Chain A
């Protein structure tokens, strides 16, 4: 090799990869990090599940506090975020399990399943909320 670090008084700064500022994102990498992000969101959401169960066991007063918090605007926004995370992590998790069998790993299949997961996430989340509001109204 022609480069001699000792001559220049130290190591040359080496290029880092990937350059996040100029990195062109692809569906594959975005969905990959979203799986992790939704997993973290759901771990936090599991606290809400435990709160729900404990509030129900503690009695009507505790349950009213829980219902007021989750029924508020902020509560509903968070719940919708958790709904998206839930259906995304569920669908993409099934995609991962399918990959674990060695299938669907070629690029066209990966893109197709990626778009399918995104579509399912949006449709299932909206359907869950529309159904929820509809049942409350009925």
Chain B
């Protein structure tokens, strides 16, 4: 009989019902916490830009401080959002194939949208500096 040199905790880690530890829960909380001040900034910015012209909106988004905060908001929003939608899919979709397909779709879509939004912000920032 071969001797297993791993500790008991190493052998059971990741084998619980969720097949993972607290990573998902923790990242959801961290992104939530970071989004609290960013959300307030975002709401204030959008209210100030209600009905604004293209030039006003483009200048506001392209300002380096706003551009930085907007890219952070995009990344955190889509990361937080896909974590939440993942749990909803896992709760309600029970067919293994459909569940996996939906989860992959949600995660790739979130990444693509965050990148597309960030590129638009960068274009406004670099364009306005030139």
Q: Which residues of A contact B (CB under 8 A)?
A: 36, 39-40, 42-43, 46-47, 49-50, 52-54, 56-60, 63-64, 67, 71, 86-87, 90, 93-94, 96-97, 100, 128, 131-133, 135-136
Across the two chains, which residue of chain A brings its CB closest to B118? A53
C-alpha gap A36/B116 in the complex (Å): 26
Shortest beta-carbon distance from A59 to chain B in Å: 7
C-alpha gap A100/B35 in the complex (Å): 16
C-alpha gap A17/B58 in the complex (Å): 53
Shortest beta-carbon distance from B83 to chain A in Å: 10
C-alpha gap A52/B50 in the complex (Å): 12
Shortest beta-carbon distance from A37 to chain B in Å: 10
Picked from A53, A58, A128, A133, the residue with its CB within 8 Å of the CB of B121 is A53
C-alpha gap A54/B115 in the complex (Å): 11
A132 near B47 (CB under 8 angstroms)? Answer: yes
Known: A53-B61, A94-B36, A97-B29. A42 touches B81 (CB 8 A): yes
B50 near A135 (CB under 8 angstroms)? Answer: yes
B117 near A50 (CB under 8 angstroms)? Answer: yes
B: interface residue count bin: 35 or more
Shortest beta-carbon distance from B35 to chain A in Å: 8
B77 near A46 (CB under 8 angstroms)? Answer: yes
**27 chain-A/chain-B pairs, Cβ below 8 angstroms:** A36-B84, A36-B88, A39-B81, A43-B84, A46-B113, A50-B113, A50-B116, A50-B120, A52-B57, A53-B61, A56-B54, A56-B61, A57-B61, A57-B124, A57-B127, A58-B120, A63-B57, A67-B51, A71-B51, A87-B43, A90-B36, A90-B40, A100-B29, A132-B47, A132-B50, A132-B51, A135-B50
Known: A50-B113, A60-B54. A93 touches B32 (CB 8 A): yes
Chain B contacts of A43 at CB under 8 A? 81, 84-85
10 further A-B pairs in the complex, CB-CB below 8 A; given A53-B117, A135-B48, A136-B50:
A46-B77, A46-B78, A46-B81, A49-B117, A50-B74, A53-B70, A54-B116, A56-B120, A86-B43, A132-B46
Picked from B61, B113, B121, B127, the residue with its CB within 8 Å of the CB of A47 is B113
C-alpha gap A42/B29 in the complex (Å): 17
